[in-house]
């Protein structure tokens, strides 16, 4: 399938550095967004390690006799191992970690996505926005169990508490799933700097108003900044032609 893609990252209006990272494969085979945490240097390092390790592993093993599901899961677990090794070498970064979301388009099969944390993958089709990934957060679990409402979730004091991220010894598996796509679909990978400021309905309206990837990415980030820009903001938009 033919794919067009674009990516943009911005530090936002409050933070002096950008702890997000993203990677777009030059051949449009895979796409990654990571959102680091753990202090100024730690967050930047964790997201950088994650994107670099995943990119390297996918590139080196792209033609291996592994299923796409296995390839993607192993890539994220390798990234986790690399962050743990860096923590051991640099005790000052012992608390660093990162969320990550990635999607791969391999051979003629439908794409596969994997994620850890609250960086998200959305699919935009026929003017409807659908969240494909499920946040690994306390709030997401409480919402799923019916303990809180969606309105409460957006302002809950625990909304940033992650139940899973890269950079933890107890991470032994990641969520991997196949994504159904058709021509005309747009896939949005983003850090929570976007979704913290903009509701899904607002994100959907910007994608609807801006069919071009570059303009949509720019508009989403500028809107997130207009709504506060409290965190780093990263978006990658993948259009299936």
Average pLDDT over residues 41-56: 96
Average pLDDT, the chain: 93
Does 3-131+163-240 carry CATH code 3.60.40.10? yes
| Alpha carbons 192 and 63: distance in angstroms, whole number | 33
User: What confidence category does residue 102 fall into, taking pLDDT thresholds of 50, 70 and 90?
Assistant: very high
Percent of the chain with pLDDT strictly greater than 70: 95
Average pLDDT over residues 63-74: 97
Give the pLDDT of residue 64. Answer: 96
Nearest to 118 by CA among 171, 81, 160, 172: 160
Give the pLDDT of residue 179. Answer: 98
Cβ atoms of 117 and 164 within 8 Å: the answer is yes
| Alpha carbons 154 and 132: distance in angstroms, whole number | 18
Average pLDDT over residues 79-89: 97
| Alpha carbons 25 and 29: distance in angstroms, whole number | 6
User: What confidence category does residue 66 fall into, taking pLDDT thresholds of 50, 70 and 90?
Assistant: very high
Q: What is the pTM assigned to this prediction?
A: 0.94
Average pLDDT over residues 208-226: 96
Angle (CA) 110-121-40 rounded to 5° is 135
Residue 103 scores a pLDDT above 70: yes
Average pLDDT over residues 90-100: 94
Q: What is the pLDDT of residues 107-122, one digit of tens each?
A: 889 999 999 999 999 9
Residues in the chain: 241
| Alpha carbons 63 and 159: distance in angstroms, whole number | 39
Average pLDDT over residues 148-169: 79
Cβ atoms of 16 and 228 within 8 Å: the answer is no
Residue 195 scores a pLDDT above 80: yes
Domain ranges across the chain: 3-131+163-240
Average pLDDT over residues 125-152: 83
């Amino acid at each position: 399938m033919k794919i067009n893609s674009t990516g943009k990252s911005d530090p936002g209006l409050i933070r002096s550095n950008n702890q997000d990272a993203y990677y777009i494969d030059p051949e449009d085979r895979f796409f990654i967004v990571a959102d680091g945490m753990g202090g100024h240097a730690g967050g930047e390092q964790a997201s950088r390690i994650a994107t670099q390790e995943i990119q390297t592993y996918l590139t080196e093993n792209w033609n291996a006799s592994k299923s796409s599901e296995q390839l993607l899961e192993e890539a994220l677990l390798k990234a986790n191992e690399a962050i743990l090794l860096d923590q051991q070498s640099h005790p000052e970064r012992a608390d660093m970690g990162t969320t990550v979301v990635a999607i791969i388009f391999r051979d003629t099969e439908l794409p596969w996505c994997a994620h850890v944390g609250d960086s998200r993958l959305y699919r935009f089709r026929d003017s409807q926005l659908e969240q494909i990934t499920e946040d690994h957060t306390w709030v997401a679990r409480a919402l799923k169990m019916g303990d809180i409402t969606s309105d409460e979730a957006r302002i809950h004091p625990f909304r940033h508490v992650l139940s899973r991220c890269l950079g933890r010894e107890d991470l032994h598996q990641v969520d991997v799933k196949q994504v159904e796509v058709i021509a005309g679909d747009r896939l949005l990978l983003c850090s929570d700097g976007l979704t913290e400021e903009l509701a899904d309905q607002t994100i959907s309206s910007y994608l609807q108003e801006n069919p071009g990837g570059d303009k949509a990415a720019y508009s989403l980030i500028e809107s997130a900044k207009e709504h506060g820009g409290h965190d780093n903001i990263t978006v990658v938009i993948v259009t299936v032609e």
